[in-house]
Amino acid sequence: MLGPVSEEEYLRKEIDAVEQRAAKRIDPGTGALTISIAVLALLVSLVLPWIGDDTGLNVVLGESASFLPRLFSFFAFGIGVLGSGITLAVRRWGLAWVCALGLFAGSVTGVLSIWTQQTTTSNKTIGPGPGIGLVIAVIAVIVLLVKWVKIAASRPPQL
């Protein structure tokens, strides 16, 4: 027969439960401001030209652009804007890693998007060239990548 639970045991269980919940959460600290500014830069890049005269909104909606810029736009706005917003709201450690890994893929496709717009063959340009909006978006994604990796990697090890 089990006797009544002592107050000390009850408090120990409650403290352990709080500790487990806290271990799953992140504290972005001042990094949240940097993340917010980078997300704002991504949103501003929507109205700026990305490829030739096509704005970022045209690329996101698929009205124009080649495969890599469209793929980059999905990473930038899916993970960079929506993922960052959700992760800052719920502050889960696992989501911080999802953002970090997704933004790594986004930064690679972003740099490749710029490169494919600058590639030449026999002194003739293939593409219209990257616009300022695409460059700003890639820089913002790289800033977000650095911040999310730093936040995700800051979790203390579980013993």
Summarised one tens digit per residue, pLDDT across range 33-55 is 999 999 999 999 999 998 888 88
Q: Which of 119, 92, 87 is nearest to 103 (CA)?
A: 87
Mean pLDDT over residues 131-148, rounded? 95
Delimit the domains of the chain by residue range: 31-153
Q: How far, CA to CA in Å, does 148 sit from each of 71, 143, 152, 157?
A: 20, 9, 6, 17
Q: How far, CA to CA in Å, does 75 sit from each of 53, 70, 92, 122, 132?
A: 22, 9, 20, 32, 18
* Predicted local distance difference test score (pLDDT) of residue 12: 73
* Predicted local distance difference test score (pLDDT) of residue 1: 45
* Predicted local distance difference test score (pLDDT) of residue 47: 92
Mean pLDDT over residues 130-142, rounded? 94
pLDDT of 91 higher than 80? yes
Under DSSP, is residue 62 helix (H, G, I), strand (E, B) or coil? coil
In this prediction, residue 131 has a pLDDT band, given cuts at 50, 70 and 90, of confident
Mean pLDDT over residues 1-22, rounded? 67
In this prediction, residue 9 has a pLDDT band, given cuts at 50, 70 and 90, of confident
Q: What is the mean pLDDT of the chain?
A: 84
* Predicted local distance difference test score (pLDDT) of residue 159: 43
Mean pLDDT over residues 118-138, rounded? 75
**Most confident range, picked from 28-37, 68-77, 134-143:** 134-143
What's the predicted TM-score (pTM) here?
0.80
